[in-house]
Structure 1
Amino acid sequence: MFQHVSISFVTTTAPSIAPDAAMIEKVARDVVTAHPPRDVPLTELMGAWYDAGLTWVHFPEGLGGLRAPRSLQPVANRVMREAGGPEPRTVNTIGYGIVAGTIRRYASPEQASRLLRPLATGEEKWCQLFSEPSAGSDLAGLATRAVQETGDAVTPGGGDWIVNGQKVWTSLAHTSRWAVLLARTDPDVPKHKGLTYFILDMTTPGVEVRPLRQLTGRAQFNEVFLDNVRIPDAQRFGAVGEGWIVANSTLGDERTSLGDRVPARGSGVIADALALWQAHPERHTPVLRERLTRLWIRAETHRLTSDRTRVAAATQATAGPGSAVTKLVGSELTQHVYEFCMELLGPAGTLIDTYSPDAPDDESGPTAIQRKYLRSRATTLEGGTSEIQRNVIGERVLKLPQEPRADKKIPWRDVPR
């Protein structure tokens, strides 16, 4: 399917005039005028958005971008929302926020051209096959094995990879066409050095997806079993044994995606708390008023910090360690906001309408707050636990000594398990 290029940054000819906010807004308005979001199919709308370079404005032309500063993305997204369209990244959450940047950095031109447009339109969803039952926070300790066939006279040493193992907590695997996969290719070196990064077609024989029911009653997480799954070497990103380097670029994008979801003042999770406060004046107390005020201040601080992180990211090839700050603050803020909401609801907070995995995800239903409260328990786990984010901040931002790791220099095979 693909011709493999170990690491290839996709480039095209830069525009003669650097895009600015006015240009981005004009291009966006032209798209929503020609393709009214309320009247055209979603795939048509998002395809036009991609072709105009508005999906990721900082990407190269022809790959969903305009080589504009990354900080201008909210300008385009605002035009889409005002026209009645979706927040673009909700079309393919993991694809937009986690995978696209890795494709841009490590795919060959052929791969990037093939993968990015259907990702952007939502026609091909993506998931992330990283975590395992015994390798969550210690991701580098994963055990899924990939063994390469010897190849043939035409492609010596470049044969397919045979993968066996189990992944877990894989969001949206049941609806995904593609996955990014981290697997161990050399058990005889230290754990961080024996990993290789692949992309996997989820329709490949040997891939089995089993949904896991969540606390909310929904089933959006999954466990995925890989039984002699064959992956062509062309679907490898980066060199053999350098998967940890590629994975860190993906994880950085994930932290940024999870941590910067406050696009405007008073929006996001704090908007739920404000709306609930207005709907229940009979439950107002001075103590709850002070708590809500403090939460609003924290939400505004998070919004401003996220904006600063986005501006800084415009000059970086990969997400910096500052993304760990916005992820940590955002995930813990989400939990605290919905804890406040439950206290404000009082006894009504114990009610929920349905506990069916088949029920629609209706964020405006009568017990939406209760469901969001239950869902918020995952925010300090997904995308790296709060403990991991604090380690990243301590080691990479504050330059503190690294946490002691007894297994850092010994072969993975010899690590006690």
Structure 2
Amino acid sequence: MFSQKHDLSSGGRPILFEPLDVPGKALERRATGLAEFDRALGGGLVPGSAILMGGDPGIGKSTLLLQAAGRIAKAGGDVVYVSGEEAAGQVRMRAARLGLADAPIRLAAATSVRDILTTLHTMEPPALLVIDSIQTMHSDTIEGAPGTVSQVRGCAFELIRYAKESGAALVLVGHVTKDGAIAGPRVLEHMVDVVMSFEGERSHQYRILRSLKNRFGAVDEIGVFAMEGDGLEEVANPSMLFLSGRDEPLAGSAVFPALEGTRPVLVEVQALIVRLQSGATPRRAVVGWDSGRLAMLLAVLESRCGLNFSSAEVYLNVAGGYRLADPAADLAVAAALVSALADRPLPKGAIWFGEVSLAGEIRPVAHPGVRLREALKLGFDRGHGPTGSAEKVAGIAFEGLPSLAKLVDRIVS
């Protein structure tokens, strides 16, 4: 039996329950002025929502948010941008480079959550509140330095509560660990409404804004940007970024229509096979795909199709620095491997998609029609995939492949 001082069944104030069909004002999303950002959000910023954006250092998180903040401010929305990492003068320099020096943004350099919330309560709630970053914030009611688990959790809770009560859309920038996970407590991702990842290689100009969690829209939607001298430019047709554009096909190259949320993106899968002398240990190198899945696919090709990769080095690359997670990439990877092994180019204007089982079967995948229509739009006229899974798309011929053995016969014969 609990003692009276630990009994929480009394002493509080009653809460009010409401039916689901209670009439109320519908929440209207606010456009950020960046169509690719809005796409990843599911249509724009929801009032009172809390968004957590993570990404590698220098990838462009602050640039993207400053561009969005500037456009919202120029459209008449009140925007507060609080930087805990840079001085106000440094943020102004970036804004000038982005052509946003005249944007009416309320800018401050501060790290005390108490000071930030005290100031916000003296003014009308802004349309957008950006905190860059949550790991630099601290609360004087919590022990520990900024960035510790307790500080990050406590500061985020107070800022999220303000957003819910005031209706301001809150964006928290989050540091990431070397493994790519957002630093701090995992509960932070549960507390917010939207978790976004800003990805890309600093050696490549493209950036992908990916939605990992979204209470107000579809998950796995992406927005694509290109880093230019004057900031991030939207890429309306990302497929053009990841295709080589060569006129004649080369051995070991296959085009795969990846699906990111509802958006199809055509990418090029490249394979290289190097025969070794006996006794040498063959190497397996993968860029942009799961190395474990490559090992499985090589084993299936050897076991079910009689191909020999054990005495060869295998190199696999997804062009443009793109990272594939779609299981439908199996068939494109297999086609590139077989093409490289046989030193025979794949048919020109062809795409390949399908999941491969351990039995060597090519299994159906989601939305084949969407993939084919994107390929047709970019000039491809042939599709190869699972038998009986693709809807007919006028203008593109589809050939069903029931197994990897049929794929090998199709390429080698």
TM-score range, shorter-chain basis? under 0.3
Structure with the larger strand share? 2
Which structure carries more helix by proportion?
Answer: 1
**TM (normalized to structure 1)?**
0.23
Structure number with greater CO (CA < 8 Å, separation at least 6) is 1
